[in-house]
Amino acid sequence: MSAAAKAAFAKKLETFHEEAVLIPVSVPRPAISDKVHGYFSEILLPPERAPEADVVMLGFPIDIGASYRMVPGIRPSGGSPAEGAVGIRRGLGFCRTYGYAMDIDLKTAIRVADLGNIFITNTDGYDEAFGKLSDVLGAVLELGVTPVILGGDNSTSYIAFKTFAEYHDGNVGMLWLDAHTDTSDNYRGDRYWCGSPMARILELPRGLVDPRNVVMLGIRGFDHSEAMIRHGLDAGAAIYPPELVHERGVVPVLTEILERVQDGTKAFYVMWDPDVMEASFIPGHAIPTTGGLLPHQIKQLIRLVGLAGAGAMDFVEVAPGLDVRDMTVRLASENVLEFIAALARRRADGVDNVWDAVRVLEGSMQPRMG
């Protein structure tokens, strides 16, 4: 990166801090550590060194359209996904730098910076909050890095994906990992609540995203109306139930999905909602749904999208206030690191297509002999 580009980012970062658009939030550091057995928090670069990074983390603690607000007296209390960005970082504080599956040490293989959180005030509506994320994420993308966005409710995914698509001047794909299509038009007039982000994505100009490059994986249950399902299908998107993964396996299903998501596109984006997984593993979520993917399946899936070169990924709808023994927080943080480790392995091995990505993934699942 040129000195001029670094200076331009430094100026933007200074403005973001002066205007309280960004506030510092960090991953907890260990009380005891050493050079051999170091922790992930110890290798994170500070915001001002983001131009040196390969991956940049950014928190967006929004809950304006969170489901726990929608049905008072029915949804559990204390379930704000606004706490997710800090909660996932707490989970990252437990993690070391070596990833067994990808057989790679993040300490030497990749550089990660943490910009902190977008500051969302009590008076911010969607326009104000979305504007802040779009400005900061746009500046991050200009660095040529891979953003990892920590939500926040699922409205995060709409504005983050829109910004990603605009940065690439359109023609991008989307992999949506969720139990729900989130294709309802609105909830009592709210068109950006957590049940509508995919509806808004499918309304974006075809020059930004062709719905034929959009795939929703994990859809199931009795939380949809028929109209919601038809909304996605009629637009041209594809819907995959989790049973396909259970019956056929991660690699065959995701290879098929990636071919669709990447067909003719410049880049693709991945959205992760914990309810893509089986309900018993995600107590820290407002609407867990049975029949989802299992932890080992979602980890394999995330490794494969990282190896395939996903251009950005978000992790949304984690509600630490509902969690039990940090199960969901730690699962989310491990998924973040699986993605980063897969990006590092992609760089180290020169992976440049889906079939190379599959080869590396399948190799990672073999036994190792001393």
Would you state the pLDDT for residue 34?
A: 80
Q: Are 314 and 164 in contact (CB under 8 A)?
A: no
CA distance 357 to 156: 28
Using a 10 angstrom Cβ sphere, with 0-12 exposed, 13-18 middle and 19 or more buried, the burial of residue 285 is buried
Q: Tell me whether strands 112-118 and 214-217 are parallel, antiparallel or unpaired.
A: unpaired
Fold of 3-25+38-364: Arginase; Chain A (3.40.800)
Would you state the pLDDT for residue 121?
A: 87
Q: Tell me whether strands 112-118 and 146-151 are parallel, antiparallel or unpaired.
A: unpaired
**Per-residue 3-state assignment (H helix, E strand, C coil) for 117-169:** EECCCCCCCHHHHHHHHHHHHHHHHCCCCEEEEEECCCHHHHHHHHHHHHHCC
CA distance 351 to 349: 6
CA distance 218 to 19: 40
Query: pTM for the complete prediction?
Result: 0.95
pLDDT in tens, the chain (370 residues): 788 888 999 999 999 999 999 999 989 988 788 888 889 999 999 999 999 999 999 999 998 877 655 444 444 556 789 999 999 999 999 999 999 999 999 999 999 999 999 999 877 899 999 999 999 999 999 999 999 999 999 999 999 999 999 999 999 999 999 999 999 888 788 888 788 999 999 999 999 999 999 999 999 999 899 999 999 999 999 999 999 999 999 999 999 999 999 999 999 999 999 999 999 999 999 888 999 999 999 999 999 999 999 999 999 999 999 999 999 999 999 999 999 999 999 999 999 999 999 999 999 999 999 9
Q: Which of 257, 251, 298 is CA-nearest to residue 274?
A: 298
CA distance 20 to 54: 25
Would you state the pLDDT for residue 68?
A: 54
312 token code pair: 């950005």
